[in-house]
Chains A and B, each alone.
Chain A
Amino acid sequence: MHDRYDSVILHFAARAFMVPLIVVFGIYVLLHGESSPGGGFQAGAIVAAAFVLARLTLGNRHGGRSLPMWLLTVLACAGLGIYMFGGILPLLLGGNFLDYGVIPVEWYNQFAGEPKTSRAAGIFIIEWGVFLGVASVLVILYDHLTDAESDD
């Protein structure tokens, strides 16, 4: 589980097809979470599965090079911070905690030319926080469980 399994076909399939496709599908599930099945939690689980697949095929050290532990920790904390930001932002604008109805979106609708309600915008912020938190925490779980150096 810690070592790299030497197979050209396995490495090519994992690196060139499966991991990028799974990440793109996870982002799709995240961005379409309001109008179709999906959301932050599901997208986070799918993207975490992609990174765990990279670690399984390429080995822990080699596969985890692009996403080391310190970056994962920062991303998990950033996810919690984004969630808190989405909760406190309506508080600053005169509403209650997590009351998305007061978030101003008129400037965004004029800029993008689409009618988006403020509640959808608030849920979108929350979904990004959940996505970052779930994805990085699941990868951190795998890294700690299969860490070769720690023997506890």
Chain B
Amino acid sequence: MIWWLELGFFGLLILAAVVALTVRDMIAAVATLTAYSFLAAGLLALMGAVDVALTEAALGAGITGVLLVGAFSRLDRRTPD
């Protein structure tokens, strides 16, 4: 419907996914993954699936980031590869 908004969201989504895969710092990877989840939630809300967007924003952007940071606090912060 608002095609330029959806196009911008898609571009940022792909950018966030690529950055989350290539970055070395684990905390930065988790942060970009959270941004990815939030952009996906915005896209779902634009498509009319508000129910799914609510779940994605609460779980993907909220709880998952905190749980991943809690898991990485027990590991090395930088990945070897």
A residues adjacent to B (C-beta < 8 A): 1, 29, 37-39, 41-42, 45-46, 48-49, 52, 56, 138, 141-142, 145-146
Contact = CB atoms under 8 A, between A and B. Distances in A.
Contacts of A141: 67
A125 to B, nearest CB: 20
Contacts of A146: 70, 73
Contact of A142 (B51, B54, B70, B73): B70
B73 A138 contact: no
Interface residues of B, number: 14
B49 to A, nearest CB: 9
B54 A52 contact: no
A142 B65 CA distance: 11
Secondary structure type dominating chain A contacts: helix
B51 A37 contact: yes
B71 A49 contact: no
B69 interface: yes
Given A48-B63, A56-B66, A37 B58 contact: no
A57 to B, nearest CB: 12
Contacts of B62: 45, 49, 52
Interface in B21-59: 50-51, 54-55, 58-59
Contacts of B67: 141-142, 145
Contacts of B63: 45, 48-49, 52, 138, 142
